[in-house]
Structure 1
């Protein structure tokens, strides 16, 4: 049975805790089943984990989710438990250190932004594969991966609003207003993606596919959350936002073409056609009015803006490599094969 629009609007706010993927995420998830007691967490094991691996990525995401919708049966006091925050800080240090080491640096914002506008011909990225080669099950896998991001698409960016001033603040709010549907709930981009999931025979429930999605897709959401929650990383969040908006329109156009090739319904295509138009406008607003005004006020943040862009591109590249390696080998890119669709094409 296909969920109705009313069903999508009245789903439970919270969701179940994820299944752990290693000792670190096991520690976090097990702790959240109890009441906070401000007991110290073991920090010695954090430095030995893979900064991009399943265990740390899930543990960090679980901590961050306490600042969004939380979890069923988890005490809300965990959100600001000092010992859990201490553990989260240790995990963030590992993740952020790896990103700073692996992402390209510099402070030439214009050069980096110009680079995002240049596409290699012929392209060989995920959206090119989807347009030219993907079957419907691979497209549904792509939707499941992106559900972790798109069902909270604009939320972490809102944290930077009180950390900006003047035109940068006003213009970022204008972009966010579009992301949230211009005051119409049914037009919010997260809602459009939920409609897409229903059209593809997938669940629109928030984080429904969390246990199925591997670390590369989750790490991108962790990046957004980390940048948003730390005032000192406000420049990096603005850089991330700009990178996402600049690169979305051309890839969205290719995915819309893929969906048309596969015979998908209009509810699947609308999310991408909406982004073709909206993000082309957002690109200019973010570059000129948000980044431009921010750097006029705080020129020392140029390096952070570049880092936010580079870190986003790094993690998107890791996700692309994972997806393409799986699909070209005819393997699922998820942690389990999706159940057969109940709706859609």
Structure 2
């Protein structure tokens, strides 16, 4: 992936160091700007995924980079506590039912309804562009949890992930299916091609998964995040597929969404009971983390949807140049 353009002094300093234009990272970075914060985090996190063009892989474990990442993570986690409340102890036996309550709660605007019935070709194309930042590496952040689990929870997670990766068949991998949707919109399917255009909420949603997935201490949170995703996926993906068909999308264009309608209807039960429920029973002290991860996933996704719809209501592009009034909630 090509390094993106800086969005503030901290991301600029990080990019300069990674590209050899500077040798020193800021020891006391001012991470007050949410756009700068989330690009900084995204750049740091990508070092643990597929990396950046021209950047040495040894940066992944560089102590100075990890110190900067840790400071940015502290700011992000503090903001998450503000909007979602901190994790609290809960009865492990209630985790599946509480997840169901969270999934059923209406906390955001119906982006899927808009895309199904009203979105223009250009608006749907922008939606796909934003989503590509995650979908071209779909399931990868949650896979970090596999070696950190055991027993029933691990088996359930692997069952979900196996479907996400197409059962070992490249053409059926969800990452590959999404490329077909992008091709229909004549978008660049290169991994990370639209990071520069991604808004703060888009980056924050991606950073949330990495924040949870890359830390063993947050293993309950990444389980809750995945459960929330799987339990709120079927109906929106049906709407996305129907919206694409309304715009003339062919079976290749809708294959990604149609696959999720079928797969996630099964994943919903596996995620709530076999994965999250089993995890909470095995590690009851982290049951509250599961619900916290789910709350964060749903809240940040709702903020992202609200921002996207607001831009279209104003007749504007949803690209990152637009000011987002609620972006301050994504940074402490």
> TM-score if structure 1 supplies the norm length?
0.88
Is residue 16 from structure 1 mapped to residue 32 from structure 2 by the alignment?
A: no
Q: Counterparts of 2:258 and 2:50 in 1: how far apart (Å)?
A: 28
Q: 5 Å matches for 1:100-179?
A: 100-105=81-86, 106=88, 107=90, 109-118=95-104, 124-179=109-164
1:66 is aligned, of 47, 54, 58, to 47
Correspondence for 1:56: 37
> Which aligned segments of 4 or more residues in structure 1 are displaced greater than 4 angstroms?
none
Instruction: Give the corresponding residue for 2:201.
Output: 216
Q: Distance in 1 between matches of 2:225 and 2:285?
A: 17
Q: Displacement of 1:324 after TM fit?
A: 0.6
Equivalent positions of 1:1-345 (< 5 A) are 15-34=1-20, 39=24, 41-46=25-30, 48-50=31-33, 53-105=34-86, 106=88, 107=90, 109-118=95-104, 124-335=109-320
Give the Å deviation of 1:111.
Answer: 4.4
Long gaps (5+) in structure 1: 1-14, 338-345
| Aligned match of 1:9 | none
Assess, with a 3 A threshold, how the Cα gap between structure 1 residues 174 and 36 changes in structure 2: closer, same or farther: farther
More relative contact order, 1 or 2 (CA 8 Å, 6+ apart): 2
Deviations 1:137-165 (A, max 9, x none): 00000000000010111111111001101
* TM-score, length of structure 2 as denominator length: 0.91
Secondary structure of 1:84's aligned partner: helix
Aligned residues: 317
What is the alpha-carbon distance in structure 1 between the residues aligned to residue 297 and residue 49 of structure 2? Answer: 21
What displacement does 1:171 show? Answer: 1.2
The superposition leaves residues 148-188 of structure 1 with CA deviations (integer Å, 9 ceiling, x where unpaired) of: 01011111111100110101111111110100000100000
Q: Return the alpha-carbon distance in structure 1 between the equivalents of residues 261 and 302 of structure 2.
A: 21
Deviates most, 132-141 or 283-292: 283-292
Distance 1:119 1:226, change over 3 A: closer
Match of 2:271, SS?
Answer: helix
| RMSD of aligned residue pairs (Cα, Å) | 1.9
**Deviation of 1:118 (Å):** 2.5
Contact 1:116 1:246 in 2 (8 A): no
